[in-house]
Amino acid sequence: MEATQIKFNFFGQVYELKADDPEVDVKEVVEYVEAKVREQETSNKGLAPHKMVVLAMLNVGKDYILARHQLRELKETVVSKTSRLVAKIDSAMD
């Protein structure tokens, strides 16, 4: 499996992002981070670029924690519903 990579310009600096995981679309990662920075540029005009990046990364972290929490809840729901379904099937077979 070959690594995917992309070069992008971020505040005048060129970066290269590489991902070995086939499920990771590095272009999507870059677009997501750039969108978060643009949100900060819009709501915090005149803020130094490095501060915008810090605020954007904090928002990325918040999004990650929220997604992780939602995934955990989804897994718990699936396990619970699956267990109830298995119990109903078992009781119907008795």
Interval 28-59: pLDDT, tens: 988 999 999 999 999 998 899 889 999 999 99
pTM of the complete model: 0.76
Q: Is residue 32 part of a domain?
A: yes
Q: Is residue 79 part of a domain?
A: no
Q: Is residue 29 part of a domain?
A: yes
Q: What is the pLDDT of residue 14?
A: 92
C-alpha to C-alpha distance for 8 and 29, rounded to whole angstroms: 11
- 3-state SS class at 67: helix
Structure tokens at 18: 């590489």
- Structural domain count of the chain: 1
Q: Which amino acid is at 65?
A: I
Q: Is residue 15 part of a domain?
A: yes
Q: What is the pLDDT of residue 60?
A: 96
Is pLDDT above 70 for 2? Answer: no
Which residue range(s) make up the domain with 16?
4-66
Q: Of how many residues is the chain composed?
A: 94
Reported as a pLDDT band with limits 50, 70 and 90, residue 27 is confident
**CA angle 67-69-74, nearest 5°?**
90
